[in-house]
């Protein structure tokens, strides 16, 4: 374990200056660094040297790895967030892209084309500072700190229930669109609908 030495000094130490204090600390560290046995003699260390990790047991090693391929994409690649102009107005990228900042900090920031942004976004970016957008990541190059994506749609004002809920559903890939006529035709058409006596006889009533 690490050793922390607390040095307390009085007026005499101040008179001798910091050099005296430093020498005293150095001597204490040298004494503590010797691992002595019962009789005060240095212990023989026959174990492996810790500066060679190949000689250490497996339980003392931290295994590392790197991702080489994605077998299955679990994430929907869609995220809710805000758009803003790039900080460097003199760069060539400023003329082509905007920055998308996801609300979920686990998702990286994304470059989105200015063509996907509202027409007056460059002239009035402050008007969209609290507007929620849905962005879908399409690529992330190895030499770039940010992903590339496309704006799908504008959800509305941040903080309101409907746009926030729609954003969460889209992020998790939940289909919340209306049922098709084919699905609705499978439902009972004669209303009000009641359970028939035959169905009640062969089912367990859990109401």
Q: What is the average per-residue pLDDT within 1-18? A: 49
Measure the CA–CA gap between 115 and 197, rounded to whole angstroms.
61
User: Taking CA 23 as the corner, what is the angle to CA 20 and CA 26, rounded to the nearest 5 degrees?
Assistant: 150
Is 104 in contact with 79 (CB distance < 8 Å)? yes
- CATH code at position 150: 2.40.50.700
Neighbours of 108 (CB within 10 A): 16
186 lies in some domain: no
- pLDDT per residue as tens digits for the range 79-98: 999 999 998 888 888 889 99
199 lies in some domain: no
- pLDDT per residue as tens digits for the range 154-197: 898 888 899 899 999 988 888 888 999 999 999 888 888 888 89
Domain of residue 144: give its range.
78-172
At residue 46 the predicted structure's pLDDT band, cuts being 50, 70 and 90, is low
Model confidence at 18: pLDDT above 60: no
Tokens representing 124 are: 């009035």
At residue 99 the predicted structure's pLDDT band, cuts being 50, 70 and 90, is very high
65 lies in some domain: no
122 lies in some domain: yes
């Amino acid at each position: 374990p690490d050793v922390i030495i607390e040095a307390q000094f009085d007026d005499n130490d101040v008179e001798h200056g910091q050099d005296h204090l430093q020498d005293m600390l150095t001597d204490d560290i040298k004494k503590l660094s010797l691992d002595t046995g019962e009789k005060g003699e240095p212990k023989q260390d026959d174990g492996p040297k810790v500066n060679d990790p190949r000689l250490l047991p497996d339980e003392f090693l931290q295994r590392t790895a790197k991702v080489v391929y994605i077998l299955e994409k679990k994430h929907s690649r869609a995220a809710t967030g805000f758009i803003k102009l790039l900080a460097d107005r003199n760069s060539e990228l400023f003329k082509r892209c905007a920055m998308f900042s996801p609300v979920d900090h686990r998702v990286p920031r994304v470059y989105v084309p200015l063509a996907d942004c509202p027409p007056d976004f460059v002239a009035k970016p402050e008007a969209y500072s609290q507007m929620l957008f849905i962005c879908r990541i399409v690529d992330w190059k190895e030499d770039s700190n940010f992903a590339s994506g496309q704006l799908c749609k504008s959800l509305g004002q941040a903080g309101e229930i409907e746009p926030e809920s729609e954003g969460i559903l889209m992020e998790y890939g939940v289909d919340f669109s209306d049922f098709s006529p084919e699905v609705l035709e499978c439902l009972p058409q004669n209303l009000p609908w009641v359970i028939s006596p035959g169905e009640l006889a062969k089912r367990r009533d859990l109401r």
